[in-house]
Amino acid sequence: MLFDRSETGLESLAASLLGTANIRIGGNRPWDICIHEKGFYQRVLRHGSIGLGESYVDGWWDAEHLDEFFERLLAAKLDEKVRSRWIDLWQKSESMLLNRQGRSRAADNSIQHYDRGSVLYQAMLDSRMVYSCGYWKNASSLEQAQEAKLDLICRKLQLTPRMRVLDIGCGWGGLARYAAESYQVNVTGITVSPQQCEFARQTCKGLPVDIRLMDYRELTGTYDRVVSVGMFEHVGSKNHRTYMEVVSRCLSPEGLLLLQSIGGSETSDSIDPWIDKYIFPGAVLPSIKQIGASAENMLVMEDWHSFGPDYDRTLMAWFENFDRSWPELRVHFDDRFYRTWKYYLLSCAATFRVRKNQLWQIVFSKGRRGVYTACR
């Protein structure tokens, strides 16, 4: 389809597209967009998501409430209407030809995000440094929501003293510490992030917790319970079955697996190109279909709990902490980082608000009768 590619023509096209999402260029509502550089229109229409994100970080545009801007943009599916076909083609080709989450790349992908320095995450997260969705059913603060989530996990796993628990992707050790202190279990936690590993070892010192720097594919031994929170998104569809095979091998016959993961509403082998390039390289959100296929004829699904809207609230709480702490954080990071992190947190909050992304807690067993009783 031919259209006027002049600056005026591109602005008119952008205004028309944004109008379908009730977003005005130069409007005075919190979700309206203010353009500072005329090259913005060509950059976004040519490069799609990457053009939109990079131009924001460069200061080419603003919206007073970025989360509300993205809420309307995503609800109108403008992200699907303005896409770079070349970037889409590259992502599809790369996912077909390469294993972006193989052993040689998994650690590099993780380090790029999680090893930015504990000062950032200590300022942004709760006191336990839990970097996953909180459970807000009866909570009024981030601290309460994260403790409620940790306890919900432990109750679903039906932990009893001296059980052997494996935490795949243990992060900074928040769940391992909580389970060891509150339920008197022995925890082995693994991560591929050196900074997370060192921090978790320090915070869990004196407890029956063993933190190891290793890839999940290297796991051996037998455990009564396996838990994995916010890690399956980094496994990749080429490795989903391998992941479940490792869990099945490590899980005792009467054991349980609790998997908490962000989920995509449709099956895909890629994520938003800007998020992939600048925030979570190599991450892919699994779908219901992909998770089911990965466990088929191996594990039995006992419980599937969806509470995606809680991630919207969690991300907004993280941004509030990050924004409030910025005067101290700017000693370590520049203003471009501030805009990058703000764009990441608030755009992601909108994906859960419009139900584009989901959050699932799934309990699996090996099929023994009577091993699981729902706690909710």
Task: Using the structure block, give the residue that is written with the tokens 């947190």.
Answer: 345
Return d(Cα 257, Cα 167) in angstroms, integer.
10
All residues at 6 or more sequence positions from 105 whose CB lies less than 8 Å from its CB, including other chains: 99, 282
CA angle 146, 237, 346 (to 5 degrees): 40
Return d(Cα 264, Cα 90) in angstroms, integer.
20
Task: Using the structure block, give the residue that is written with the tokens 């795949």.
Answer: 168
> What phi, psi does 321 have (nearest 5°)?
-65, -45
Given 133, 250, 348, 375, the catalytic residue: 348
- Please give the helix or strand (H or E) that residue 167 lies within, else none: strand 164-168
Closest Cα partner for 26 from 5, 13, 11, 44? 11
Q: What is the DSSP string of 120-145?
A: HHHHHS-TT---S----TT-SSHHHH
Instruction: Taking the CA atoms of 277, 195, 139 and 373 in sequence, report the sign of the dihedral they define.
Output: positive
What are the distances in angstroms from CA 3 to CA 8, 12, 178, 196, 345? 11, 10, 59, 51, 34
Is the CB of residue 49 less than 8 Å from the CB of residue 274?
yes
Residue 348 appears among annotated catalytic residues: yes
Indicate which residues carry an active-site annotation.
Answer: 348
